[in-house]
Structure 1
Amino acid sequence: MASKRLATTATAALLSTLGTIGTVACAASSGESAPAAGSTVNSTVNSTLSGPSASPLSSSAADTRARPGAPGIGDSDFPTDGNGGYDVDHYLLKLGYTPSAKHLAGTARIEARATQHLASFNLDLSGFTVSRVTVDGRPARFDRAGSELTVTPAESIPNDATFAVDVTYAGEPKPVRNSSNLGTYGFIPTQDGAFVTGQPNGAKTWFPSNDHPADKARYDFELTVPAGLTALANGELVGEPKTAGGRTTFRWRESHPMASYLATMTLGRFEVLQGKTPGGLKNLAAVDPIFRGSLRRLYDVSGKVTDYWSTLFGPYPFSSTGGVVDDFPAGYALENQTKPMYGGFAPDEDIIAHELAHQWFGDSLSIKRWKDLWLNEGFATYAEWLWSEHEGRATTEQLFRRHYAAAVGDPIWSYAPGRARPEDLFNNSVYTRGGMTLHALRQRIGDQAFFKLLKQWVATHKYGSVTTPEFIAMAEKISGKNLEALFDAWLFTAEKPSTW
């Protein structure tokens, strides 16, 4: 995600413009939150089941070897996010949306593998009415409590077995409105469609999922919208859009593993430019008509930046690049895989460089726990500085010194970025001091070892999940130096480093 400070000026200008034009996007009310520990659970049970699958003496309940999957994936900072007991391989989302009614309906298929003997398991889903759940084609019991959808299959699922869950649901998507610096995120209805950005846990506002970056999966999307609108999702378009009965279906496929918060089905009226980068990679830029003047620049800069990062970080990890500018004044950008989203402003080169660097650092390499967010944002911020230097503007050293000049009492020195705080996840220190950490490391180990480290870090963990200790260990191995003091000063100490 781009730091919100980068978008403030552009967003203010947009709001002024929209006020003149009279087309301010409207968002739905706040999304549903999970109940506090110890609160009363309000369960809704599928009452249509009959026969053995509905019996309290079903094989699932009688099998004492099976146990429920955990309602969280194990991230102590976000204890109800994600779920335990299984690993998702693939999502198939067949969804239709009607902007005038703010109504989303469809079926999500989740193909997964059990990591324990499962008596039941949870999916993350906020709001909506769930009408039917099946596991491997057989009706299953389901209960709702907060943002948890608990599924009890007709028979328990053995450890290491693969299974498929189909969830049929409908209702009005409600984004998350957070009073901290998380802002508004998830499925955000707009005047002509929707702006969909899920960081950190907004996937649950539009599809049932294991909503945590530690469980990545492949995605297929079949998105149906009123004719005349465009539905954009991750990856590449499969075939041509098909229109029938006044509605058009778009099929997209992301065949590379992706964290749930990076999934999107942003839709509305868009002007689209498609082609290839100078290096031959598929490139798609799309903008709301209000931003038509920025379409060519978004397309060209996205292609140029993607190709340059491939020389510094290693081969681009996905099959297409690009970006999308919508008219919702989110005040931020998000690195949605293959299609970064820019909420309500035409991005400058630095923000484009930031979001496209995330395709390596954050998308291909995802964090196992949110506390390590600097591995995403610090790297993308440092990439901005590298781009500035590449373009003949301020050098990385100049930018580092400019930020280091902040007084001892500056807030950046009171927040140790190596441990991102859940109530202040997108703190400026995670971005800027995270980027400064990389420059301090570069100064210590030299350019040859530093850029070798970046490429090897990306190649070793491609499509996987990473932690800060793993990065430190690799940095020490490649450089042959003990870097404990450096990382302790820059990442884990809440004061201004004096030596490193």
Structure 2
Amino acid sequence: MHRRIMAPGALAAACLMLAIPASAASNSLGAPGIGDPYYPAYGNGGYDVSHYDLRLKYQPATDELEGTATLLAKTTQDLSRFNLDFLLDVSEVRVNGVKASFATSGEHELEVTPKSPLAKGTAVTVVVRYRGVPSSKKAYGFTSWHRTPDGGVGANEPEAAWWWFPSNDHPLDKATYDVSVLVPDGTQAISNGTLQSTSSRMGWTRYNWRSNKPQATYLATLAVGKFDVTTGTSESGIPVINAYSKDLGDRYGAARASIERTGEIADWLSEYFGPYPYNALGGYVPNTDTGYALETQTRPFYSPANFANGSNTSVVVHELAHQWYGDLVSVKDWKDIWINEGFARYAQWLWSEHEGEGTAQEIADYVYASRAAGDAFWKVRPGDPGPENQFHIAVYDRGALTLQALRNESGDDAFFAILKGWTQKYAYGNASVADFQRYAEEVSGKPLAALFDTWLFQPSKPAAPAAHSASIARSAKGSVQPKSWKKIAATNGVHDHGHEGGH
């Protein structure tokens, strides 16, 4: 579970600081990365953020963003210096009210040196004042800020925050958020969670959004532009806010026909995954030329391209399934991506079954039968695919195939108990593939090491005996393409994030 700050009173905090000699912390630098093997420079060491307060002003005509970010954190070690992940131009940093010195390093590091060293266990308030043109910034050869005809959007995975707010950018450090954005009248600002208030003055409108449950940094989003906004309430009582760029052209109808079903789909998913974990729902479609969608918490980002061929409820199912698998329970390391993508893909298979367009078993049989043993698809190991294959189709399809094998091995009762119980056990926290295997064994009462190794970790197609023992492709019918397959395959690029320079 994410550690929450219990901030001591100012006097107690001052006494704590005075009680520890400066020399105790003077040589302790926070690491420039949190320790992820795929992305060593992502996140930072030495502190844990509990809340981000972002007060922003954005000018769509010029893509100029200025802001003040206030981070509430707690040190996890003695710190004489610490890093934030950020790309825009910083004018001032304060730590506990006192000006701090700062410098940039690497591709996206902001190094902050407080005037006085910080002792382990200290509550810290960090204020960063900044401005810049997000679309002009690149790291590792790519940008995660998308310019639109009427504004801009911050949305990408595994990184998007650097372009619009300073952060500890890794899923291990979740926090709550207040995002307040000032934009010209006639333009809207869309973010996560609930819209607390709006106010207008002197030609500008301020939107105040709040995410009151722990949220990973890459799941925070900001979209500024001219939107048609719809509001409603799901049958289970969750308020829904959706937003569609006014200039989507002939994709506008298909986008609305899909995303307006968000409440219905979330209620349906809750039957499999447990109660919906947040107090807000929705989705938004800005007029971007990107092809992917993203499970930004409570309000997924969709590309117009997702609706090029008509309505697409399958992609909505995928992104909403992530609200449990990826958002509620997040990866410990990015190598655990299967826990996000395999499960969101399997939700699409369950939706196919729900829609009468092919059962999960039929889709699993087809996936297994339609790819020859020599296909490079089987070389990718969904349980640890490597950063270059993090969003490879095998993580999705072979990942979902693993879940059907698990379902057949453990039986429906145990399997669906696993799906629902997992999200409760690790709610608002982080977990790994190994954690999932242990949990599945605990609930099913069966040893599953061989099954997980065969389907998730071997760089080869599971042999026929292994497939048959997991009740996969036991008959020739497996080569028949399920009716839903083209719709599911149309979402294959859903997380193809198009990093121009790789990592």
* RMSD across aligned positions (CA): 1.7
Q: 2:303 aligns with which of 318, 327, 343?
A: 343
Q: Please say if 1:388 is aligned against 2:352.
A: yes
Distance 2:377 2:455 in 1: 11
CA distance in 1, matches of 2:27, 2:320: 43
The answer to whether structure 1 residue 353 and structure 2 residue 310 are counterparts is no
SS of the residue aligned with 2:302?
strand
Indicate the residue corresponding to 2:155 in structure 1: 197
1:286–1:295 CA contact under 8 A, matched in 2: no
Indicate the SS of the match to 1:333: coil
Q: How far has the Cα of 1:196 moved from its partner?
A: 1.8
Quick check: 1:440 aligned with 2:401?
A: no
Superposed displacement of residue 272, structure 1: 0.8
SS in 2 for 1:275: strand
Deviations 1:266-293 (A, max 9, x none): 1101101101012221111111122442
Letter aligned with residue 409 of structure 1: G
Q: What is the correspondence of 1:300-311 to structure 2 with a 5 Å cutoff? A: 300-311=260-271
Residues 62-110 of structure 1: CA deviation (Å, up to 9, x unaligned): 4456501111000121010000000000001111111211111111111
The 1:416–1:447 alpha-carbon spacing in structure 2 relative to 1, beyond 3 Å, is same
Q: Distance in 2 between matches of 1:74 and 1:266?
A: 30
Residue of structure 2 aligned with 1:271, choices 228, 243, 255: 228
Instruction: Check whether the contact 1:271–1:292 (CA below 8 A) recurs between aligned residues.
Output: no
Over 3 Å counting, the alpha-carbon distance change for 1:353 and 1:153 in structure 2 is same
Match of 1:431 in 2: 396
Alignment partner of 2:175 out of 217, 224, 227: 217
| 2:51 corresponds to which of 90, 104, 115 | 90
Aligned amino acid, residue 415 of structure 2: F
Percentage of matched positions with identical amino acids? 44
Q: Any conservation in 2 of the 1:284–1:299 contact (CA below 8 Å)?
A: no
Superposed displacement of residue 156, structure 1: 1.2
**Counterpart pick for 2:33 among 66, 72, 75:** 72
Query: Any gaps of 5 or more consecutive residues in structure 2?
Result: 1-19, 471-503
Q: Distance in 2 between matches of 1:61 and 1:298?
A: 58
Residues 432 and 169 from structure 1, CA distance in 2 versus in 1: closer, same or farther, beyond 3 angstroms? same
Can you list the C-alpha shifts for 1:420-439, whole angstroms capped at 9, x where unaligned?
A: 21123211111111111101
Alignment match, 1:102:
63
Alignment of 1:296-375 (within 5 A): 296-345=256-305, 346=307, 348-375=312-339
**Which whole-Å CA distance do the structure 1 matches of 2:409 and 2:45 have between them?**
41
Conserved 8 A contact 1:60-1:154: no
Structure 1 106/381 Cα, relative in aligned 2: closer, same or farther at 3 Å? Answer: same
Rounded to whole Å, the distance in 1 between the matches of 2:122 and 2:287 is 44
2:302 corresponds to which letter in structure 1? Y
Matched letter for residue 369 of structure 1: D
Instruction: Report the 3-state secondary structure (helix = DSSP H, G, I; strand = E; otherwise coil) of the residue aligned with 1:305.
Output: helix
2: distance between equivalents of 1:468 and 1:165? 34
Q: Is the 8 A contact 2:154 2:163 kept in 1?
A: no
Matches within 5 A, 1:101-500: 101-126=62-87, 128-146=88-106, 147-174=108-135, 176=138, 186-239=144-197, 241-289=198-246, 290=248, 291-294=251-254, 296-345=256-305, 346=307, 348-405=312-369, 406-498=371-463, 499=466, 500=470
Cα offsets for 1:246-279 (capped at 9, x unmatched):
1111000000000000111111011011010122
Structure 1 alignment gaps of length 5 or more: 1-58
Counterpart Cα distance in 1 of 2:236 and 2:458: 42
Opposite residue 116 of structure 1, the aligned amino acid is: Q
Give the Cα separation in 2 of the matches to 1:194 and 1:315: 33
Q: Do the aligned partners of residues 386 and 463 (structure 1) sit closer, same or farther apart at CA in structure 2, a change above 3 Å counting?
A: same
Superposed displacement of residue 494, structure 1: 0.4
Aligned equivalents of 1:343 and 1:259: distance in 2? 21
Is the 1:124–1:148 contact (alpha carbons within 8 Å) kept by the matching residues of 2?
A: yes
Number of paired residues? 436
Q: Which amino acid in the other structure matches residue 170 of structure 1? A: R
Q: Supply the AA of the counterpart residue of 2:330.
A: S
Distance (Å, rounded) in 1 between the aligned partners of 2:347 and 2:255: 23
Residue 50 of structure 1 corresponds to which residue in structure 2?
none
Which stretch of structure 1 is more off in the superposition, 170-179 or 412-421?
A: 170-179
Q: What is the alpha-carbon distance in structure 2 between the residues aligned to residue 342 and residue 178 of structure 1?
A: 24
Cα drift, residue 297 of structure 1: 2.0
Structure 2 partner of 1:3: none
Counterpart-to-counterpart distance in 2, 1:432 and 1:379: 10
Q: TM-score if structure 2 supplies the norm length?
A: 0.84
Separation in structure 2 between the aligned mates of residue 360 and residue 259 of structure 1, nearest angstrom: 13
Q: Does the CA contact (< 8 Å) of 1:198 and 1:261 recur in 2? A: yes
Alignment of 1:11-26 (within 5 A): none
* 3-state SS, counterpart of residue 287 of structure 1: strand
Kept in 2, the 8 Å contact 1:193–1:266? The answer is yes
How many Å apart are 1:483 and its aligned residue?
A: 0.7
Letter in 2 for 1:455: K
TM-score computed with the length of structure 1 as normaliser: 0.85
Counterpart amino acid of residue 243 in structure 1: S
Cα distance in 1 for residues equivalent to 2:165 and 2:433? 30
CA contact (8 A) 1:285 1:295 kept: no
Q: After superposition, what is the alpha-carbon deviation per residue over 1:385-429, rounded to whole angstroms, capped at 9, x for unaligned? A: 001101111110110011001111112111111102112321111
State the SS of the aligned residue for 2:208. strand
